[in-house]
Amino acid sequence: MRSRLALRTAGWVTGLTAALWMTAGGPAGAIPFPNASSSPGAGSWTVYHGDPAGTGAAAAAGRVDTASRAWTSAALDGQIYGEPLVSAGRVYVATENDSVYGFDADAVGPPLWHSTFLGNGITPVQDSQVGNCVDITPQYGITATPVIDPTTHMLYVVANTMESGVNTYRLHALDITTGGEKFGGPVLILASVKGTGVGSDANGNIVLDPTHQVQRTGLSLVNGVLYFGFASHCDIVPWHGWVLGYGASDLSRVFVYNVTPNGSEGGVWQSGGQPTFDQSGDIYVATGNGTFDVNTGGSDYGDSLVRATLSKHDFDRRLFHAL
């Protein structure tokens, strides 16, 4: 599975277009890009839609002056679903074949570096291994948009791999100058909560199951913590919505939230965007179809707009139910 990435910059833009979704063998996609500068922070695009707050508003990204020239890469090794990012004069692209590439934004040529998370019995996850869910086909690898911390020159990305027959998610921290792993990464993404909902075990635990969960939201970096959400593979039960948080400096897990611990579903999709946060640092996510019973004293928040008070690492009960 190979894709060709074409980035064409011209005029004034406020955001990336949907043309970054490509299929193997198809024509090159055209993606308006901000002009990347070697100066840290200048012309950067370090998070989904270029908006650190995750609001999705075009005005938040502002007008970005772009270079009136074409920049095209060599063929990449898989499809691209996450947005390419720009920082420090380079463009960074992640593929469904579990690869991340770093390119010079100001010159046509091969990648400056290419990091692959495959090998030694590690492969991408085939659609046949997740209930024949062909929302993405033929393989799942890196679906979500990574995030870059321009102050530390680190890129964070979640990769889905099959490791000796075990479906696995890992969080990677890559040095954007070399593509090398940092902070002891990658780390295995594990999570469980107490609950009686679908998929709970004999001990009353619900465990995040990569076979039934897809990591689709872009990554947020808020006050030194990386946040990202999970939904489903084609709504094949049992599954739940999840939000996890990991420390950016050591990749330790610091936050776990299950949307429907005593019910089912409630995926955190965000339409591919990252969790949103406000000036106080509280985080907001929208949840999909699922159990909602908070109005009768329950703890399940399907079909809701949910706010979490991160200073308490707990979800605020003052929530908005989306009717």
291 lies in some domain:
yes
Rounded Cα gap, residues 125 and 131, in angstroms = 11
The two tokens of residue 197 are: 């909902």
Rounded Cα gap, residues 241 and 245, in angstroms = 14
98 lies in some domain:
no
Rounded Cα gap, residues 218 and 83, in angstroms = 9
Asked if 124 contacts 161 with a C-beta cutoff of 8 angstroms, the reply is yes
Residue-wise pLDDT tens digits, 36-88: 333 344 568 899 988 877 776 654 444 344 433 334 445 799 999 999 999 98
Determine phi and psi for 189, rounding to 5 degrees.
-90, 115
Angle at 288 between CA 98 and CA 242, to 5 degrees: 50
The two tokens of residue 64 are: 């970005």
177 lies in some domain:
no
Residue ranges making up the domain that contains 275: 189-323
315 lies in some domain:
yes
- Classify 176 as helix, strand or coil: coil
Burial class (CB within 10 angstroms; exposed 0-12, middle 13-18, buried 19+) of 280: exposed
Rounded Cα gap, residues 264 and 319, in angstroms = 19
233 lies in some domain:
yes
Which residue do the tokens 């074949």 mark? 97
The two tokens of residue 86 are: 């720009």
Residue-wise pLDDT tens digits, 280-302: 778 899 999 999 999 999 999 99
What mean pLDDT, rounded, does the chain reach?
81
Regarding beta strands 29-30 and 3-9, do their DSSP bridges make them parallel or antiparallel, or are they unpaired? parallel
The predicted structure's pLDDT at residue 15: 26
9 lies in some domain:
no
Regarding beta strands 213-214 and 225-232, do their DSSP bridges make them parallel or antiparallel, or are they unpaired? antiparallel
The predicted structure's pLDDT at residue 57: 62
224 lies in some domain:
yes
The two tokens of residue 48 are: 């989904």
236 lies in some domain:
yes
Residue-wise pLDDT tens digits, 181-220: 999 999 999 999 999 999 999 999 999 999 999 999 999 9
Q: Which of 36-45, 115-124, 173-182 has the lowest mean pLDDT?
A: 36-45
Q: Give the number of domains in the chain.
A: 1
The two tokens of residue 27 are: 């024509």
pTM of the model: 0.84
